[in-house]
Amino acid sequence: MERLQRPRKTPEPAVAPAAGGPRSREGLVVLGIDPSLRGTGYGVVRQGKNGPSVLAQGTIACGASWPVTRCLGHIAQTLRQVLAEFHPTICVVEGLFYAQNLRTAIVMGQARGASLAVVAEAGLEVYEMAPRKVKQAIVGYGAAQKEAVAKMVQRMLRLTELPAPDAADALALAIAYLQETGRYLIAGPKKI
Amino acid sequence: MERLQRPRKTPEPAVAPAAGGPRSREGLVVLGIDPSLRGTGYGVVRQGKNGPSVLAQGTIACGASWPVTRCLGHIAQTLRQVLAEFHPTICVVEGLFYAQNLRTAIVMGQARGASLAVVAEAGLEVYEMAPRKVKQAIVGYGAAQKEAVAKMVQRMLRLTELPAPDAADALALAIAYLQETGRYLIAGPKKI
C-alpha cells in the first residue's frame, strides 16, 4: 500500500533498477529458502543500484543415513549462521508445493517448519510465492523448466557458474520477490 | 541393548520403581511433545524412586489469527525456554500420526519440524512412539479414549487437576517412554 501512496515520479536516468522498481528497495537483503530434509537450498540476495547481487548461496546437505532430527537440527543451525552473517530482513519460501503422499508432505513440512521457525524467531518478515509466479518473474514463463530458471538466475546475478538446483530455486525466490515488490502492484507476495 | 547386558538381580523391596524398571532410569528427565500449530502440548517428567513426577506441563497456544510463521517461532522459543529451565535429556514424540489431507499433513509437519529442530539443536536424544503403544503403556488398552489417558496421567503423576488434552498427550508420551525403556525389552521406542 505504501508503494501506491508514494509513487516515485523521478526515475533514475543513469542507472535504472533492474526490475524497474522504486529505489526504496535498494540495500534490501532477501533470503530465499527451498526447504527439504536432505538438501535445503538457500540464497541471500542484495538489491543494488544495478539490480540484485548474491551475498551467499548453498545447499544444506544432510546425509542419507542421518536421522530426521539430526537433519532438522542441522538445517536450523546453518540457517541461523546465514542470518547472523548476512542480516537479511525478508525471507521468501515457495507457497503451494507438491507432495506425492502424506508421508512426503509431513517430511517436507518438517524441513519447512525447522527453517521457518528460525527465521521467524530472528524477526524476519516471511513471504510465500507460488512456484508459477517465481518462474514467471524469472524466465517470463510460468511452466519453465528448472534448468532454464537456474540459467537465468546465473545470468541475472552474474554468477561464474550455474548454481546447484536447490540453491538456484532459493535464489530465484529472492530475486522474484524483489521484482514483484519493486513494481506498483496491489497484490504482492503473501505474508505468512 | 545395555539393559540386556546388565540386568539388575536385586530388586528394591522398600520402594519399587513404578514401572518395575531398573533403577538406572532414576533422575532421568524426559520431555514429551505433542506438536500442533495452534496448541503444541509439552510435558517434562522426572523419574524418581517412587515413579515419575511432573516438572512442567502446558500448551503452547498460538492465536487463530496469528500467521503460520509467528506460531512456529513461538513454539520454538517456548520449547527452548523449557529446555533451559528443566534440562531434559530425552525427547519423545508421536510416531505415526493421522492427517486428513496433504495440507493438514504439511501444517502438522511444520509444527513438528519447528519442535524437533529445537530439541535436536540442544542435543537431546529424540524417540518416537506409536499412539497405540503409548495408550497401551498408560491405560493398558491401545484404543483407549483421550479422556481415559488424561485421567490415568493425572493419577500416575498425582496431579490435583486433570491436565489439558494436549499437555496430557505429551505427558503420556514421556511416561510411556520411561515405562517402555524401564523394562527388559529388546525393541524399545524408535530413535529418530
User: SS3 for B125-140, per residue?
Assistant: EEEEECHHHHHHHHHC
Compare CB distances from B69 to A75, A114, A126 and report the shortest one's residue.
A126
Distance CA B82, CA B55 (A): 10
pLDDT 10s digits, A50-87: 899 999 999 999 999 999 999 999 999 999 999 999 99
| Amino acid at site A103 | R
pLDDT 10s digits, B99-136: 788 888 999 999 999 999 999 999 999 999 999 999 99
The pTM for the full model equals 0.84
Strands in chain B per DSSP E: 29-34, 39-48, 51-61, 90-94, 125-129, 190-191
* Grid cell for residue A166: 536447490
Distance CA B172, CA B136 (A): 10
pLDDT 10s digits, A88-130: 999 999 986 677 888 889 999 999 999 999 999 999 999 999 9
**CA angle (A41 as vertex; B81, A55 as ends), nearest 5:** 90
For residue B75, the chain A residues in CB contact (below 8 A) are 117
Looking at the DSSP assignment, which residues form a beta bridge with residue B127? B92, B191
Contact of B190 with chain A, judged by CB distance below 8 Å, is answered with no
- Residue entry with cell 495440507: B103
Sheet holding A90-94, edge to edge: A51-61, A39-48, A29-34, A90-94, A125-129, A190-191
Domains, in order of start, for chain A:
21-191 (3.30.420.10)
Please provide residue A157's backbone torsions phi and psi, each rounded to the nearest 5 degrees: -100, 5
A114 vs B111: CB contact, 8 Å cut-off?
A: no
Q: Which helix (H) or strand (E) holds B69?
A: helix B68-86
Contact of B174 with chain A, judged by CB distance below 8 Å, is answered with no
The ipTM estimated for the assembled molecules is: 0.83
Compare CB distances from A113 to B67, B111, B191 and report the shortest one's residue.
B111
Please provide residue B94's backbone torsions phi and psi, each rounded to the nearest 5 degrees: -70, 145
